[in-house]
């Protein structure tokens, strides 16, 4: 069975408790539940992990090699700052799909660039919790078709 690692970065544990106008009212538990249901429909398994610590994200990415076929990741603000995260993703050479709840391109300039996006196979942003489900669908498609959806939509 295809195994997907789902990583949630810093502050996403606060979802549903603060800033509902920006990030909605669903909790991270609600999102993980939706992802589990979608994974079941797709016939894949998902493991989810949230951390507020950059090093823990790196450790999980390193450990994913050989244990997962792909990674779905909302790295939160680390995507805008962490070259280490970019290097870890490059190093494990697993397909990564980056997701964001908000449309980062329509927000502050400092959110426009993502180091993760530079090494991700795809990015989904701006659909709220649906971003995760769309991202999961896309990642599973990439894995199942091995070389991605038909042609490489990269650069
Ligand atoms: O839109 C996204 O998913 C983000 O990854 C969320 C990050 C932000 O730094 C990125 O630019 C875009 C922030 C997550 C903070 O989550 C909170 C949830 C509730 C209350 C406060 C923060």
- Contact yes or no for 75/56 (Cβ under 8 A): no
Count the residues in the chain: 155
- Which residue has its alpha carbon closest to ligand 1 atom 7? 76
Residues whose CB is less than 8 angstroms from the CB of residue 102 and which lie 6 or more positions away in sequence, other chains included = 22, 23, 125, 126
12-21 contacts, C-beta under 8 A, 24 or more apart: 12/50, 12/74, 12/76, 13/50, 13/52, 15/101
Q: Is 50 in the pocket of ligand 1 (CB under 6 A)?
A: no
| Structural domain contains residue 153 | no
CATH code assigned at 42: 3.40.50.9100
Q: How confident is the model at residue 155 (pLDDT cuts 50, 70, 90)?
A: very low
- Which residue has its alpha carbon closest to ligand 1 atom 15? 11
| Structural domain contains residue 128 | yes
Q: Which residue has the tokens 């697993």?
A: 94
- Residues 45-73: pLDDT tens digits? 999 999 999 999 999 999 999 999 999 99
Q: Is 106 in the pocket of ligand 1 (CB under 6 A)?
A: no
Q: Is 76 in the pocket of ligand 1 (CB under 6 A)?
A: yes
Per annotation, catalytic residue among 33, 80, 100, 112:
100
3-state class (DSSP) for residue 44: coil
- Residues 87-141: pLDDT tens digits? 999 999 999 999 999 999 999 999 999 999 999 999 999 999 999 999 999 999 9
Position 148 scores a pLDDT of: 45
| Structural domain contains residue 32 | yes
113 has catalytic annotation = no
In a 10 Å sphere around its CB, with 0-12 CB exposed, 13-18 middle and 19+ buried, how is residue 152 labelled? exposed
| Structural domain contains residue 28 | yes
| Structural domain contains residue 75 | yes
* Positive/negative CA dihedral, 17, 36, 92, 86: negative
| Structural domain contains residue 68 | yes
Helix axes 83-92 and 54-64, enclosed angle (nearest 10) = 10
Per annotation, catalytic residue among 8, 23, 115, 132:
23
Task: Please state the pTM of the whole predicted model.
Answer: 0.94
In terms of residue numbers, what domain contains 141? Answer: 3-147
The number of folded domains in the chain is 1
| Structural domain contains residue 60 | yes
Q: Is 77 in the pocket of ligand 1 (CB under 6 A)?
A: yes
Ramachandran area for residue 143 (φ above 0: left; ψ -120 to 50: alpha; else beta): alpha
| Structural domain contains residue 155 | no
- Residues 90-99: pLDDT tens digits? 999 999 999 9
């Amino acid at each position: 069975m295809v195994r997907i690692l789902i990583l949630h970065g810093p502050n996403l544990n606060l979802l549903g408790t603060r800033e509902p106008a920006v990030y909605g009212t669903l909790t991270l538990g609600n999102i993980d539940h939706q992802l589990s249901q979608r994974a079941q429909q797709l016939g894949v398994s998902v493991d989810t992990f949230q951390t507020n610590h950059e090093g823990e994200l790196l450790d999980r990415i390193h450990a994913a090699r050989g244990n997962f076929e792909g990674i779905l990741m909302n790295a939160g603000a680390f995507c805008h700052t962490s070259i280490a995260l970019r290097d870890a993703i490059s190093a494990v050479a697993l397909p990564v799909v980056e997701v964001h709840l908000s449309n980062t391109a329509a927000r502050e300039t400092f959110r426009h660039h993502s180091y993760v996006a530079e090494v991700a196979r795809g990015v989904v942003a701006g659909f709220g919790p649906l971003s995760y489900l769309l991202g999961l669908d896309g990642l599973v498609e990439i894995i199942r078709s091995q070389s991605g959806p038909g042609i490489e939509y990269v650069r």
